[in-house]
Chain A
Amino acid sequence: MLEIKNLTVAVEDKVILRDLSLTVPAGEVHAIMGPNGSGKSTLGYALAGRDGYEVTGGDILWNGESLIGMEPDERAAAGVFLAFQYPMELPGVATMTFLRTALNSLRKKRGEAELSTPDFLRLVREKAKVLEVRDEMLKRPLNVGFSGGEKKRMEILQMALLEPTLCILDETDSGLDIDAMRIVAGGVNALRAAGRAIVVITHYQRLLDYIVPDRVHVLAHGRIQRSGGKELALELEKSGYQDFTGKAA
């Protein structure tokens, strides 16, 4: 279970999230929706432990363990995975080398043996096939020359491969056409499991037609303003965020 308690986060001394509280039980998918500038991406980065996102108050607990003070790679080992809104291109870093290094780093931290080359290749091919990630993409440096949709599929491929228990998807739908969205959503839905919590951060409702959330939260002015069932997303689609944007913090 993810428990965010009275979280306050500042970036360059500017408070972005204030006193934010949110609980996502394992086995559930929760959507975080909100207008631009509401702090959605900041929440994702704060969960993943990015430098410069300073937690000045509150706590983040994952399965009872505080993530505050843990390095990004330690959080990854604890099961945290952030699918980036803008995945990085890594020129000169072969995709397969990257995937293998990440997977083996996590296995090592979890006390598991490294995968053999044939086992690793088999695993990647199997996951790649579902996400329609072609062999040719796997042969390139990571994300270099990939289209927006290809980068997002590569993010989900990494998620499927690393099998995190807390998945945070930051605007994964941005830049996706309908076909790509269906593929990506299929990949995410395949990861729905009893021990896994999934947080879907999105501006638009349309992704939630494919990844149906258990709960929807509206984030504005740095805190959760309203929570509801999946119907809340449809309501927001009609009314927009104006009810929330006008409100002073």
Chain B
Amino acid sequence: MSVALRKSFGDERLRDDLERLAERMPAGRAGLAARRDALADLNAAGLPSRRSEAWRYTDLASRLRDLPAQAGEPGTLTRAALDRALGPLAAIPAARIVFVDGWHVAELSSGEGLDAAADRIRLHEAMPTAPAGDDDAAGRDGATAMIEALATDGAHVVLGADGDGARAVAVMIVSVATGRTPARSVLRHRVEVGPGRNAQVIEVVLETEAAGGLMANEIGIDAGADARVEHARILIGPLPGTTILNARCTLAERAQLTTIQLAAGLSFGRSGIAVAFAGEDAVYEFAGVTLGTEREHFDTTMVIDHRVPSCTSRELFKAVLDGDSHAVFQGKVVVRPGAQKTDGKQMAQALLLSEAAEFYSKPELEIHADDVVCGHGATTGEIDEDMLFYMRARGIPEAEARALLIAAFVGEAIERASDGPLKDALGEIVAGRLKAVGR
């Protein structure tokens, strides 16, 4: 089976795609050789399947037996339609970089809030190689090779240094699929946050027509020394296709990076997040919420690589699952030899609203240093009937009481976002979603 699969990805159509689109793709014709190499890697490795530990619960090879076609042009999308699709996120003041069906659309983008002297956004250029390097604990798999081979566009955002963190900036990178037929949208982004800079990087993935193709994005985020970066990864369903997101983050000394992830309404999705500490006394925090209904599947797989001493990592994952939905949280924490005084903690919790919903949680600690504090925990449960009765005895109808309890459960993760428009929007999206999930 794997042979046939490899063959299907090495077919002439993909090669033709590369030739046809080469002029418009990052690095143009000059990048073609690298893309062919990546395509060869993809063909050699195949798409990741459950045989790979990192993809154990999300068998991409079985899901994607064929790659949807690449649209040659972005579909029509007005600013009003985009704002409608963004919902509460539209109100966040941020520079917007918008990609429609895999292509950057300047008319929908803006440089709001950017510092003209210090900040740059480049498009259609070769994305620098993944910052984590060859000995990357997260590894390079077929999905990464696929993104490298087929990315049609991407943003390279460079945010200048700042003395005192006073020049806060927010950048929203939006990937929209509008296709009425399944199509693919593959993008590679990189955001470099200069030393001392205070930045929000908001990744948004959505579909306006819910056609169900492939959306695959990779983002590299480099937080410079003393930078404070809040990274939001927001997947707003219905996303009926296959959604694969990768993030590779590096933190320089004393950098603080927080990822807030909200995934709701994904038929089949995976968020892979690799974090590498490159400088001491840096802090990485992850707070993720997955809301699932029906037969939805969403996988969050993280690798936190403590390469240097005295860094702190925290992961809090919350899933609320109804119907036959599945959520996955795999959190691997690697403490390299010499990474003393590492402080790593992880908690994964699921609230199951139905008999058929399933939560797979797999913590993994790989510790090669002796003076470290690492811990993990996981809980899975149903809504507490005693709490429910207590609330109902005060006159709160059952549906509302359930919604309040679910919101409280999820709220603990959303609370990790810094106060402001982003947090307000996340709260609003969750509240809207819970109306459906809480019955």
Contact = CB atoms under 8 A, between A and B. Distances in A.
Interface of A: 48-51, 71-73, 75-77, 81-82, 84, 87-88, 90-93, 97-98, 101-103, 105-106, 109, 141, 158, 162
Nearest to B386: A88
A169 to B, nearest CB: 13
B360 interface: no
A72 B409 contact: no
Interface in B373-414: 385-387, 389-398, 400-401, 404-405, 407-409, 411-412
B402 to A, nearest CB: 12
B404 A93 contact: yes
Contact of A91 (B391, B397, B408): B408
A73 B385 contact: no
Given A93-B404, A98-B394, 14 more contacts: A51-B385, A51-B389, A71-B392, A76-B394, A84-B393, A91-B408, A93-B408, A98-B404, A102-B391, A102-B395, A105-B394, A105-B395, A105-B400, A106-B395
A103 B393 CA distance: 12
Contacts of B395: 73, 76-77, 102-103, 105-106, 109, 162
Nearest to B404: A93
Contact of A76 (B386, B393, B407): B393
Contacts of A109: 395
A43 to B, nearest CB: 15
Contacts of A87: 390
B398 A88 contact: no
Question: Which of B392, B405, B407: most chain A CB closer than 10 A?
Answer: B392
Given A71-B398, A88-B386, A92-B411, A97 B404 contact: yes
B349 to A, nearest CB: 12
Contacts of B385: 51
Contact of B394 (A51, A71, A92, A158): A158
Given A51-B385, A88-B386, A97-B404, A105 B396 contact: yes
Nearest to A86: B386
Nearest to A159: B394
B393 A92 contact: no
Contacts of A48: 389, 393
Contacts, number: 72
Given A87-B390, A90-B387, A73 B397 contact: yes
6 tightest A-B contacts by CB?
Answer: A92-B408, A76-B395, A72-B392, A102-B394, A88-B390, A106-B395
Contacts of B390: 84, 87-88, 90
7 contacts: A51-B389, A71-B392, A73-B401, A76-B394, A91-B412, A101-B404, A109-B395
Nearest to B412: A92
Nearest to A73: B392
Contact of A92 (B391, B396, B409): B409
A158 B391 CA distance: 11
Nearest to A78: B395
A109 B390 CA distance: 18
Contacts of A102: 391, 394-396
Contacts of B409: 92
Nearest to B411: A92
Contacts of B408: 90-93, 141
A175 B439 CA distance: 38
A102 B393 CA distance: 9
A73 B405 contact: no
Contacts of A106: 395
Contact of A162 (B391, B394, B401, B405): B394
Contacts of B387: 88, 90
Given A90-B408, A91-B408, A93-B404, A98 B391 contact: yes
B61 to A, nearest CB: 39
Contact of B389 (A72, A92, A158): A72
A72 B393 contact: yes
Contacts of A51: 385, 389
Contacts of B401: 73
Contacts of B396: 73, 101-102, 105
Nearest to A77: B395
B424 to A, nearest CB: 16
B377 to A, nearest CB: 15
Contacts of B397: 73, 105
Contact of B400 (A77, A82, A101): A101
A141 B385 CA distance: 18
Contacts of B386: 88
A98 B387 CA distance: 12
Contacts of A92: 407-409, 411-412
A181 B75 CA distance: 70
Counting chain A CB atoms within 10 Å of each CB, which of B393, B400, B407 scores highest? B393
Contacts of A50: 389, 393
B31 to A, nearest CB: 49
A21 B412 CA distance: 47
A102 B408 CA distance: 16
Contacts of A88: 386-387, 390
B164 to A, nearest CB: 32
Nearest to A52: B385
Contacts of A141: 408
A76 B392 contact: yes
B417 to A, nearest CB: 15
Contacts of A77: 395
Given A87-B390, A88-B387, A93 B398 contact: no
